[in-house]
Structure 1
Amino acid sequence: MNIQTFLLKKINQALLLITNKSIFNLIQIQQSTRKEFGDYQINGLITISKKLNIPIEELAKKIIKFIDLNEIAQTTKIEQPGFINIFLNPKWISHQINSIFSVPRLGITPVTPKTIVIDYSSPNIAKEMHVGHLRSTVIGDSVARVLSFLGHNVIKANHIGDWGTQFGMLIAYIEKNIQSEFILNKSIQLSTLEHFYQEAKKMYDIDPNFAKLSRNYVLKLQKGDKYCCRIWKRLVDISVSNNQNTYIRLNVSLKKSDIMGESFYNNMLPKIVSDLKNKGLAITSNGAVVVPLKNYNNRNGAPFGVIIQKKDGAYLYSTTDIACIKYRCKILHADRIIYYIDSRQKQHIMQAQEIAHKAGYLDTSVLLEHHICGMLLGKDKKPFKTRSGNALKLKTLLDEALKRARLLILSKNPNLKNSQINKLAHIISIGAIKYSELSKNRIINYIFDWNNMLKFEGNTAPYIQYACTRIFSIFEQSKQLDFQPKQNNIKLETEEEKLLAICLLQFEEIITTVASQGAPHMLCSYLYKLSVLFSSFYEHCPIIKATNIHIKHSRLKLALITVRILKKGLNLLGIKTVKHM
């Protein structure tokens, strides 16, 4: 149930009895931040009072008079300078929380399904994934999980960098130094390909002949040359297999079938260029095909032009991005497209978007969203690098997290079997790493710090995972009880029970907001708050030791709903739970 939406409908009905003016978009209702302000607060009255020319206090009294909150609110209070505080009725809360057991999916209201394409992760080929890929990968995956859970048709698009100049460089380097050994060697590692790339880049920068050869190979590859395609496929296969192992380790839901890399759109590019020229959007300038954009200026203040085909016939990333938008709109029939990208890529994507709009590839009805991800910075507040000047490998981060998790577990449970330690360390370390990323507002830059990244106390995944294990242990102790959730109603007799129940009912509000804003940090904050409230409930409200059987069953039911929502919430973040920690 979405209490916010429910109350908003009630308020709008009251406003219809006060005025026929269009003011419904001005009213706001939000969860109260302080206990003395009730459970929910109506805002926006100052703006409405000015529009209706009614004093604020008089307007607030009229709303309270006409709003139908019988049995829903225990009390409503006017708060200066222009708020109405709503204190929910415990009996109504009890009824709503009990209904969770009689409806599917934790009482989440079904949505009208939409086709939503989410573009995230997008690593480059012939390079190992580094910490800079972590944010887009785990945030995009969490939002994909949330949208799927709500009932939308989610298409996960892993737009890998498997095309372009770097492949011309690699093919030229392999042809010059490795030749057929590369194709035949089945044990070649991704780290070797990265070494090839680094050496090829050096040669490209200092040797004009090698640079020319590389550009020729790019053109051959784009035209489907068999030799180039064979080497390219080998490069891609090695990289994709390595990346897939990382996704599995991270519990990220991306699969090989979700890959829609730059090469995926290669066959569309000639028609894109031809169509843009025919529509008068593209012109030929100095042998290249360019799309002028009036809304963008270059360094000299002149209108900016996006090159979509070089004078040698090669295509660019911009051409691919335009084709990508067209494919997602016209073939996949997307209602909404979400990009999880580095802030430095925003202008590039927006230019492609503007061209796609002008060409009629992107309908105005399609929501195209750039969900910018802040950068991972070093202590010098520049993009994070290791001491050697390279980006920290994601595998190195995960290995370090695993080592630290093992030490923590051994310090608390020295008698565990090695297999148990390994399993537990893997789940805890991956949860800690992902939660550290997911719990931050995605738009902020933040400074990399091993201790903050891997800490296991406070607002962390292990804290929430431990709340689950605590509830599991309660049900282990209660096995002898004749506890049947559907036959035992929840009664809220203490403040701790009421606060916990309200928080449980707010689950739908949170995931709806996450789905709308693409911001999993809100779900993290909710799960942490729920864990803290459960801890308070656990300390102040005896469960197994409760002397009254009805109270005991009521509290067991509250605990059961709590662990179901905690598990589901962590699952939506891509984090696993364990029964023992």
Structure 2
Amino acid sequence: RQNHIGDWGTPFGMLIEHLLEVGEDSAEADLLKTDPNAFYQAARGKFDAAEAAQEAGAGTPGPEGGDFASRARQRVSTLQSGDAESLRIWTNLVELSKQYFHRIYDMLGVTLTDEHLAGESSYNDLLEAVCTDLEAAGIARISDGALCVFPEGFLGRDEQPLPLIIRKSDGGYGYATTDLAAIRHRTTTLGADRIAYVVGTAQELHFQMVFSVAREAGWLPEDVQAQHVKIGSVLGEDGKILRTRSGSSLRLMALLEEAVATARTVIEELRPDLPEAEREQIAHDIGIGGVKYADLSTAHDSDYTFDLDRMLALTGNTAPYLQYAVARIRSISRKAAAQGITAAAAPQVENDAERALALALLEFGPTLAAVGAEFEPHRLCAYLFSLAQAFTSFYEASPILKESDEGIRAGRLALAQLTEQVLVDGLDALGVNAPQQM
């Protein structure tokens, strides 16, 4: 596992400069513990204002002047060079970030730990070797003071070769350098044969160029697959991208808590008979599962609108719909056990609805394999939704507990329980838990 946390690009340059300006003991600095996103947005606002002032020719040096953007960029080079004060502040910022991330991981059921951290900063000692080796191989050359590679087939708007900057003119390194060091590390040290880059669609050109350069340098052998799994945007009700780094403040934790609280309200109304602890667990499973499933059920390179009501709906292609299907089958099994009814050793197919369900179950293995091969979890979501619908049709056409023929009844119960197993396994593959009852 390679958890890419530990950035020290321009965003950290902004954060460090802003922190030094407001003071590490100031009330504004306390936002780093309570609302780090608000602190970042303040730094970002200052940076953007400085950029605009510089472009307008109105920038003036000083804490609040157009000089802030230049100092933020220079801070990145200072940090990368090993400046002790910059490293101290950066380390503290990363630690605060990790504390927040771990709360998110706990909420989402993510099992990453600190030992999996391998972010941009972890490759710092390898960056100069990347530059030296590319230059020695004749792949990189100096252009306008910067060390660049001009991979074949990439042209700019002016139809001139497009550069991938390996070392900036000020001596600093960018994402291209880090990504090349990372891909070299992953193939030569980790022995990776397949690497998935789950990053926004806007970075497509960047990764195409990085992969091209890595292939030319021999760091990405032909038998190693590197793929940019393009991620679309999450949109608000206004159709605009939900943003955290600029615009209105949006915190993932608050969003997840809202999803759980909304689910809890529904559970309180529908199942007041359940114990408090069980209602709480069900609300968590539905709320978190609903958000996860909504994200994964959309093709990864497509945009979608964040709609909490739709995510938590009991109808349609949603996690609650599938969770309810599982709970329904488990309820049937409990009633069957209470009546002394046992399932057959294997499902029994007697009519068209049973045949359709059995055929749908047989598609689980191939579907799961295709999802893994193509990095397309939305296909698994579509399959599970179709399977749940097939079960509904089966259950309407083939009653289980009311069937008088013991053999047929046992065969139908086996078919239902196999459906439950596939639904549970499929949801688990998506990181979604299925409650015992709803």
Q: Normalising to structure 1: TM-score of the pair? A: 0.68
Equivalence for 2:189: 331
Q: How does 1:332-347 map to 2 (within 5 A)?
A: 332-347=190-205
Q: 2:43 aligns with which of 170, 194, 197?
A: 197
Q: Distance in 1 between the 2:348 and 2:308 partners?
A: 45
Asked if residue 272 in structure 1 is aligned to residue 130 in structure 2, the reply is yes
Tell me: CA distance 1:524–1:215, structure 2 relative to 1, closer, same or farther (3 Å): closer
Q: How far 1:481 sits from its partner (Å)?
A: 5.9
Q: How far 1:266 sits from its partner (Å)?
A: 0.9
The answer as to whether partners of 1:432 and 1:456 remain within 8 angstroms in 2 is: no
Q: Distance in 2 between the 1:213 and 1:354 partners?
A: 33
Q: 2:106 aligns with which of 232, 245, 248?
A: 248
Asked if residue 525 in structure 1 is aligned to residue 373 in structure 2, the reply is no
Q: 2:14 aligns with which of 166, 169, 193?
A: 169
Choose between structure 1 and 2 for higher RCO, CA contacts under 8 A separated by at least 6 residues.
1
Asked if residue 422 in structure 1 is aligned to residue 422 in structure 2, the reply is no
Aligned length: 423
Q: 1:515 aligns with which of 372, 378, 401?
A: 372
SS at structure 2 position matched to 1:554: helix
Bigger shift: residues 536-545 or 364-373 = 536-545
For structure 2, which runs of at least 5 residues remain unmatched after alignment?
54-64
Equivalence for 2:61: none
Equivalence for 1:159: 4
The answer as to whether partners of 2:37 and 2:251 remain within 8 angstroms in 1 is: no
The answer as to whether partners of 1:244 and 1:256 remain within 8 angstroms in 2 is: no
Q: 1:290 aligns with which of 143, 148, 153?
A: 148
Q: Distance in 1 between the 2:271 and 2:306 partners?
A: 30
Equivalence for 1:500: 357
Q: 2:162 aligns with which of 295, 304, 328?
A: 304
Q: 1:534 aligns with which of 391, 395, 417?
A: 391
SS at structure 2 position matched to 1:337: strand
Q: 1:368 aligns with which of 226, 230, 235?
A: 226
Residue identity in the other structure for 2:410:
H
Cα shift readout 1:123-165 (whole Å, capped 9, x = no counterpart): xxxxxxxxxxxxxxxxxxxxxxxxxxxxxxxxx3332361112
The answer as to whether partners of 1:469 and 1:580 remain within 8 angstroms in 2 is: yes
Asked if residue 390 in structure 1 is aligned to residue 245 in structure 2, the reply is no
Tell me: CA distance 1:204–1:564, structure 2 relative to 1, closer, same or farther (3 Å): same
Cα shift readout 1:409-446 (whole Å, capped 9, x = no counterpart): 23322444443332221111111112212222222223
Q: Distance in 1 between the 2:360 and 2:274 partners?
A: 35
Cα shift readout 1:460-486 (whole Å, capped 9, x = no counterpart): 11111111111111221222566666x
The answer as to whether partners of 1:165 and 1:218 remain within 8 angstroms in 2 is: yes
Q: How far 1:382 sits from its partner (Å)?
A: 4.1
SS at structure 2 position matched to 1:296: coil
Equivalence for 1:457: 315
Q: Distance in 1 between the 2:340 and 2:269 partners?
A: 37
The answer as to whether partners of 2:37 and 2:249 remain within 8 angstroms in 1 is: no
Identical columns (%): 37
Q: Distance in 1 between the 2:108 and 2:70 partners?
A: 40
The answer as to whether partners of 1:441 and 1:521 remain within 8 angstroms in 2 is: yes
Q: Distance in 1 between the 2:19 and 2:331 partners?
A: 58
Residue identity in the other structure for 1:499:
A
Q: How does 1:91-102 map to 2 (within 5 A)?
A: none
Cα shift readout 1:231-272 (whole Å, capped 9, x = no counterpart): 111101111221221122122343333322111111110000
Q: How far 1:458 sits from its partner (Å)?
A: 1.8
Residue identity in the other structure for 1:160:
I
Structure having the larger proportion of residues in strand = 1
SS at structure 2 position matched to 1:297: coil
Equivalence for 1:112: none
Residue identity in the other structure for 1:473:
S
Residue identity in the other structure for 1:194:
Y
Tell me: CA distance 1:417–1:448, structure 2 relative to 1, closer, same or farther (3 Å): same
Q: How far 1:314 sits from its partner (Å)?
A: 0.7
Cα shift readout 1:279-333 (whole Å, capped 9, x = no counterpart): 1111112322111234122232211111111122111111111111111111111
SS at structure 1 position matched to 2:154: strand
Q: Distance in 1 between the 2:284 and 2:418 partners?
A: 27
Q: Distance in 2 between the 1:462 and 1:404 partners?
A: 13
Q: Distance in 2 between the 1:192 and 1:374 partners?
A: 24
Equivalence for 2:171: 313
Asked if residue 260 in structure 1 is aligned to residue 105 in structure 2, the reply is no
Q: Distance in 1 between the 2:409 and 2:239 partners?
A: 53
The answer as to whether partners of 2:336 and 2:342 remain within 8 angstroms in 1 is: no
Residue identity in the other structure for 2:43:
Y
Q: How far 1:230 sits from its partner (Å)?
A: 1.4
The answer as to whether partners of 2:300 and 2:378 remain within 8 angstroms in 1 is: yes
Q: Distance in 2 between the 1:198 and 1:211 partners?
A: 10
Residue identity in the other structure for 1:468:
V
Asked if residue 568 in structure 1 is aligned to residue 414 in structure 2, the reply is no
Q: 2:68 aligns with which of 210, 213, 226?
A: 210
Q: Distance in 2 between the 1:403 and 1:484 partners?
A: 38
Residue identity in the other structure for 2:357:
L
The answer as to whether partners of 2:314 and 2:324 remain within 8 angstroms in 1 is: no
Equivalence for 1:580: 437
Tell me: CA distance 1:385–1:171, structure 2 relative to 1, closer, same or farther (3 Å): closer
SS at structure 2 position matched to 1:280: coil
Q: Normalising to structure 2: TM-score of the pair? A: 0.88
Equivalence for 1:233: 91
Cα shift readout 1:494-541 (whole Å, capped 9, x = no counterpart): 222211111111110110111111111111111111111212222222
For structure 1, which runs of at least 5 residues remain unmatched after alignment?
1-155
The answer as to whether partners of 2:400 and 2:413 remain within 8 angstroms in 1 is: yes
Q: Distance in 1 between the 2:24 and 2:346 partners?
A: 73
Equivalence for 1:551: 408
The answer as to whether partners of 2:234 and 2:242 remain within 8 angstroms in 1 is: yes
